[in-house]
Structure 1
Amino acid sequence: MSGSAPTALTDELHKEFEAAHPGVKVKYEVQQWTGIQDKLNTALAGTTPPDVLEIGNTQSPKFAEQKVLTDLTANSADLGGANWGAGLKASGAWDGKQYAVPFYAANRLVLYRKDLFEKAGITTPPTTQAEWLTAIEKLKAANKDDPEFQPLYLAGQNWYTLLSFIWDEGGDVAKQDGTKFTATLNTPEAKAGLEFYKKLVDVSGTKAPKDADEEKPPQAGVYGKGKVGMIVGLPWEVATAAKENPEIKNLTSGFAIPGKKAGSTAPVFQGGSNLAVPAGSKNADLAKDYLKLLATEKYQQQLVGAGMIPGSSKNTSALDKDPVSAAMAKGALSGKAVPASPNWGSVEAGANPIKTMLTAYLTGVKSLDQATADANTAIQQALAGK
């Protein structure tokens, strides 16, 4: 997929693979994410699918459930299975079998302005939720004469960030029992996560819209204008912010999303991709050899060098060279995934019930109990395929 494996990596990988398999030629094609779902449906339903596919980790359960991917359970050890993170592994599994293997991932962290922290007397980044709230108050006090300043910019529908707080409380969007999923957004733990999200919004006084996510407007652009102390975002948003102000890169650092308890970071959603072998592949053994080579430390470290969390290696020490990447890697130790349901796509598509819940609660249109109850009903229906 566009924007995934660096060209230098794939060039070297294909050269080595072809050398080890005389007479074999790798035909490599890069696809765009827009419209990829339809392309995948067509390819996997045909008689001549590609031998290896990259698929988003939230797309994987649907194809696994449809049995249009090769069962790779017996090959897991050769494909780096000992190093797969729990969340990434789960996204490629279905009914006790592994149909896709982790490729790479990335996760959110808190990006912050070092100069503004120093001005506010914040000497070390927050490590707990309480310290985070204190930092917000200090930033607010240090910039009280600037009505445009926001200590934290947090859009009302930044639901991936909400997941961190729900998970940190011990809750989840849904629980899984075999191939059955039951929505759990109405539990005390989920409600506690939502309450902390609202506390961040209220304490910070963020001017971000409560009825839109972090892309409307793009939060990196808002951060780049210099009137924001922190955002919860992805590492590459620093480069986007630098388009507004080139100096922002040198002024920015990061820390893992703080947990409720001292000594622990909040779990984070790991977005990324998996790799799979279509069930209709005519070269399944070669495809497995290809994945085995990609899973070696040599190529896994090239993914790390590109700023990614590798799918088949636990060695992310190279990310420590950059404070933002280092903070992402620290958070990745408690990475999680959305429910691995084949129907999850219908939750994210269109009117996402979690986004609707956030807006209703933050604006006071619904109480906490009503907002979570309504969202829980909608997600249950989606997971049940209704």
Structure 2
Amino acid sequence: MKRKLIAAIGVAALSATVAACGSDGDSGGGGGGDADSITVWLMDGSAPQEWVSELNAAFEAEHGVKVNVEVQQWDGVQDRVTTALSEDGTVDVLEIGNTQTVGYANTGGLADLSELSEEPWNENMLASAEVDGTLYALPWYGANRVVIYDKSVWAEAGAEVPTTREEWIEALELIDENTEAEPIYLPGQSYYVMGGFVADEGGSFAVEDGDEWRGALNTPEAEAGMEFYAELQSFSESPTDNDEASPQQSTEVVPNQEVASWIGLGWEAAGAVAAIEEAGGEADFGYFPIPGKTAGELGHVFLGGSNLAVSERAGDKELATEWLRMATSQEWAQRYVDANNDGVVPNRTDVTAEPGAGSFAEAMVASADVGFLPPLTTGWANVETEPNPIKELMTKALNGDDYATAAEEADSEITTRINRE
């Protein structure tokens, strides 16, 4: 492959699914708790069956009530949660994405959990669970992206694992010059990856402006972040108008062409390995954190994950809070991390993750302290609705459009959407 010319600048995977302990396992709505039971909604794939079973057995033995776990699918979950939070007794405890917590809290749907605020929570995760100093959810787990690379291709090229952005580019140049592989697969619209580079520069997608928010892409920081993204993307054969899910990079791209490296989550790495092996091949991946501007700092990464909350209209808020207290305690949080083979970022500072040397988890956990979150406000969901103005800006920039003009248009749209409840 020959490198393209640069146009003007343009959950750790969890292998097991939750069992519906004490329930029929259906993903629909069900009754909330009463004097004899509580209902917990967990997302498909969020917790190993053994952990859930043992936790609920311990809780039931201590409190003499039954725990009904109902597994929810991510597709369409926001509508189901919104409906459940508006009804009495539908659900007691529920898992919600960390970027969704503020929105649900602002509707009045989540109970105040400030009595649990003194626990040693991971500060980066805690930010997504608080609104105006009030705790409305508890951090559960985090996950972030790392660079996944083909060891054999890198060895053929004589490329070494980088510790800085400059070394990263040098490695891609070696791969481009000495192999037939695509140095990096990077879609034009992987906006959370780009957001990390913006955060490296001290910028953000949007900033608070008095009582409102305004887009912040037409800034030197965002432009610098986009410039580095464009430099990386120039080594990719991907179009500039698609994201990592269209096509799915882990199962539709990487297994079907020679890709030297890509940026992904744990479940994507596992999916790529499975797809390659299913096709009769053998995956030989290595992993490293996204490098920072200097050897002494790693690049910022979007810290995704989930929180656990109690419905304000729960059938039994007291019991629901006690289940939440147990599930996120040091003992059960440590068990959760261990059960996931250290494939998640711990929710507490007194929980340790000791991933194996050279594993995805090792690279992921290394970046946890430099995780960033998008603007924590109800209106952020409006920004991410298609057509996403950040994605549109990225494509324009990569195609050589004037950055300032494109960014000004994106900021105007972001400002309108983010301030709309």
Q: TM-score, normalised by structure 2?
A: 0.85
Shift of residue 62, structure 1, vs aligned partner: 0.8
Counterpart selection for 2:247 from 207, 217, 225: 217
What letter corresponds to residue 174 of structure 2 in structure 1? K
| Residue in 1 that maps onto 2:188 | 156
- State the alpha-carbon separation in 2 of the partners of residues 316 and 186 from structure 1: 40
After the TM superposition, which residues 255-274 of structure 1 pair with which residues of structure 2 at under 5 Å, given as runs? 255-274=288-307
Asked if 2 retains the 8 angstrom alpha-carbon contact of 1:361 and 1:371, the reply is yes
| Residue in 2 that maps onto 1:122 | 159
Please, which runs of 5 or more residues in structure 2 have no aligned partner? Answer: 1-42
Asked if 2 retains the 8 angstrom alpha-carbon contact of 1:111 and 1:232, the reply is yes
Give the number of equivalent residue pairs. Answer: 373
After the TM superposition, which residues 220-239 of structure 1 pair with which residues of structure 2 at under 5 Å, given as runs? 220-221=250-251, 222-239=253-270
Shift of residue 248, structure 1, vs aligned partner: 6.8
| Residue in 1 that maps onto 2:26 | none
| Residue in 2 that maps onto 1:188 | 220
Shift of residue 296, structure 1, vs aligned partner: 2.3
- State the alpha-carbon separation in 1 of the partners of residues 128 and 269 from structure 2: 28
Shift of residue 25, structure 1, vs aligned partner: 1.1
Q: CA RMSD in A?
A: 1.8
| Residue in 1 that maps onto 2:61 | 19
Deviation string, structure 1 residues 74-114 (Cα, Å, up to 9, x no partner) = 3222xx4x23232x212122122111111112100100011
Deviation string, structure 1 residues 189-222 (Cα, Å, up to 9, x no partner) = 11100011111112x1x11111110111111132
- State the alpha-carbon separation in 2 of the partners of residues 333 and 129 from structure 1: 18
Taking every aligned residue pair, what percent have the same amino acid on both sides?
A: 39
Asked if 2 retains the 8 angstrom alpha-carbon contact of 1:297 and 1:313, the reply is no
| Residue in 2 that maps onto 1:383 | 418
Please, which runs of 5 or more residues in structure 1 have no aligned partner? Answer: none
Deviation string, structure 1 residues 255-277 (Cα, Å, up to 9, x no partner) = 10111122111111111111111
| Residue in 1 that maps onto 2:377 | 341
Counterpart selection for 1:207 from 237, 240, 243: 237
- State the alpha-carbon separation in 2 of the partners of residues 27 and 245 from structure 1: 38
Counterpart selection for 1:373 from 384, 408, 416: 408
Shift of residue 310, structure 1, vs aligned partner: 2.5
- Cα–Cα, structure 1 residues 209 and 95, in superposed 2: closer, same or farther, change >3 Å? same
More moved, 319-328 vs 99-108? 319-328
Q: Classify the secondary structure of the residue corresponding to 1:320.
A: coil
More moved, 306-315 vs 91-100? 306-315
Q: TM-score, normalised by structure 1?
A: 0.92
Structure having the higher helix fraction is: 1
Deviation string, structure 1 residues 331-376 (Cα, Å, up to 9, x no partner) = 1121111111101111111211110111111112x21111211111
Q: Classify the secondary structure of the residue corresponding to 1:182.
A: strand
After the TM superposition, which residues 161-180 of structure 1 pair with which residues of structure 2 at under 5 Å, given as runs? 161-176=193-208, 180=212
Q: Classify the secondary structure of the residue corresponding to 2:78.
A: helix
What letter corresponds to residue 296 of structure 2 in structure 1? G
- State the alpha-carbon separation in 1 of the partners of residues 185 and 112 from structure 2: 44
What letter corresponds to residue 353 of structure 1 in structure 2? P
Asked if 2 retains the 8 angstrom alpha-carbon contact of 1:353 and 1:375, the reply is yes
More moved, 285-294 vs 158-167? 285-294
Shift of residue 49, structure 1, vs aligned partner: 3.1
Shift of residue 226, structure 1, vs aligned partner: 4.9
What letter corresponds to residue 287 of structure 1 in structure 2? A
